[in-house]
Structure 1
Amino acid sequence: MHLSSLYRFPLKSAAGEALQQCASDALGLVGDRRWMVVAAGTGRFLTQRAVPTMALLQAHWDGETALRLTAPGMQELLVAVPDAKVMRCVQIWSSNAVVPDAGDAAAAWLTDFLGQPCRLVYLPEDDGIQVDLDYARLGERTAFSDGFPFLLIGQGSLDDLIRRVGRPLEMLRFRPNLVISGTEPYAEDGWTRIRIGQLAFRIVKPCSRCVIPTLDPFTAERDPDREPLNTLLTYRKGKGGVFFGQNLIAEGTGELEVGMPVEVLE
């Protein structure tokens, strides 16, 4: 088994970056989901669930100093990592945070592209959001993810789903950080702890899926047949949702690189 793909999503619900290597820190992959778009009036987070065109936003982590934004029909915008001069209260699911606002230029750019008033905010590594204590230890934090620092999917699981649906599907529909090859379909469901290179992880919760995988990550168009969600409903439905992939918490920090061996510890 080995790490076959590594993805980072600098801006929550925007397009992802395929990486060859990346360090991890206390919140997950360095630069992963450290930025988020929120409604200007309420501070509530925006995602592709309600704003499909977010899939066309390209957000590139530019060192540790800036975010580089591009989108169809828009001029590139470089957004500096904001300081704490202007803080904004934001909401992501049931969690609230007070985080730096990235300024009026970024807000105007995103408002223009997305067609609704919004703001861009940033989460410093020293902050972070406590992971649900039903699955994590006190002090284990994540960035602006839907709940956990890492998402893992086995390539064999996607290959099986593709066979069932009967047409190609991009792994990016499911927005994982880590893709593992060399396993049977859904082998990850039975793991408790793994090690990738020198970094150990706990597998803490199956990932429940929403409508985002029905969105083509390159065109932002919804699948008229609601695939692959409808197929997942036939065999991956459980208590609390439809599950595909596993949420992970790292036991420490380290370097990850495509090709690293993967070992099941428990």
Structure 2
Amino acid sequence: MTLQLSDLYIYPVKSLGGIRLTEAQLDSRGLRHDRRWLIVNERNQFMTQRQTPGMAFLKVEPAYNGFLLRHSGRPEMLPLFVPFEATPDKTLFVTIWDDMVFAWRARPECDEWLTAALGQTCKLVYMSDMVCRTVEPEFNPNNQLVSFADGYPYLLVGQNSLAELNSHLAEPVGLDRFRPNLVFSGGEAFTEDTWYEFQIGEVTFRAVRACARCVLTTINQHTGQRHPHTEPLRTLASYRIEEGKAIFGQNVTGPATGILHVGDTLTVKSYKAL
């Protein structure tokens, strides 16, 4: 069966809702506008649904030269417009995992809206093109940059891999639990685990490492509630383990330029060594 790019997603603000695209441009950190914004707490440490599951209620909608944030559980809150890029009026240092990078502050009304939406003091910050945050060295021979994503510019998931996982679950889950950028159709379940170099349309990528999954996958993206039995993480851990962690999808690096379209053919060029 032909392999084909079936979906493209960006997540303009880390750990908030995504935007589904029909085409996407590539830049030096992944898909253009993906995870360039970050919410930090009063100590300037990054926030995600891992610690703040209520972030699942914050949905992202496309708008001209930016996007709208909307609280799906509080319709009385007016949506907030955020531009795709910030201005360097105010800067601060923020912490994301083991990295400390400088970031540009959003408008004060963005901080106020998010503080009200999440019920705790927080700030919205932007990663400029001047920031040098790189993929971990052992998987980064080309000095690939990364945005505020956990560690890699792209996440690849196969539709048949999700279908296979759902066949083990009492309650099927959607792709939104796994936050992929690149979704493909065709091929056997988890065939992406074997790939190394592959091409989508005219653009060449490398699948460098399986994605270790965390508690975020257990959060219902509509209710903000964690599954009482930590599904689907519990089931993944029963048969999809690598280096002691449950895995699903592949972390991917790629070039700094190019364009992708839903419907592009995917061609595997080489495979990982066994």
Letter in 1 for 2:36: R
How far apart are 1:138 and its partner, in Å?
5.2
Displacement of 1:19 in angstroms is 1.2
Q: Which residue does the alignment assign to 2:10?
A: 8
The alignment's C-alpha RMSD in Å is 1.4
Match of residue 79, structure 1, among 70, 79, 82: 82
Deviation at 1:140, TM superposition (A): 1.1
- Residues 15 and 212 (structure 1), Cα distance of their counterparts in 2 relative to 1, 3 Å cut: same
Distance in 2, matches of 1:66 and 1:167, equals: 35
Q: What is the CA–CA distance in structure 1 between the aligned matches of 2:131 and 2:61, rounded to whole Å? A: 21
CA distance in 1, matches of 2:268, 2:134: 26
Distance across 1 between alignment mates of 2:66 and 2:7: 24
SS of the equivalent of 1:50 reads coil
Alpha carbons of structure 1 residues 85 and 37: separation in structure 2 relative to 1, 3 Å: same
1:222 match = 226
Match of 2:59 in 1: 58
SS in 1 for 2:192: helix
1:25-40 equivalences under 5 Å are 25-40=27-42
Quick one: distance in 2 between partners of 1:62 and 1:97? 28
| TM-score normalised to structure 1 length | 0.95
The residue identity in structure 2 corresponding to 1:75 is: L
Once residues 125 and 3 of structure 1 are traced to their aligned partners in structure 2, the CA distance between those partners, rounded to angstroms, is 28
Q: Identity of aligned pairs, percent?
A: 38
**TM-score normalised to the size of structure 2?**
0.92
The residue number in structure 1 matching 2:262 is 258
8 A Cα contact 1:130 1:138, kept in partner: no
8 Å CA contact 2:177–2:221 kept in 1: the answer is yes
Runs (5+) with no aligned partner, structure 1: none
- Unmatched segments (≥5 aa) in structure 2: none
Q: Distance in 1 between matches of 2:28 and 2:172?
A: 35
- Which amino acid counterpart does residue 58 of structure 2 have in structure 1? L
8 Å contact kept, 2:28–2:255: no
User: Secondary structure of 1:188's match?
Assistant: helix
Q: 1:116 aligns with which of 109, 115, 120?
A: 120
Letter of the aligned partner of 2:46 in structure 1? F
Confirm or deny: 8 A CA contact 1:89 1:98 kept in the other structure. Answer: yes
Count of equivalent residues: 264
The amino acid that maps onto 1:76 is P
Report the Cα distance in structure 1 between the residues aligned to 2:160 and 2:28, rounded to whole angstroms.
Answer: 29
**Shift of residue 217, structure 1, vs aligned partner:** 1.3
Q: Residue type matched to 1:119 in 2?
A: K
Matches of 1:227 and 1:44 in 2, distance apart? 27
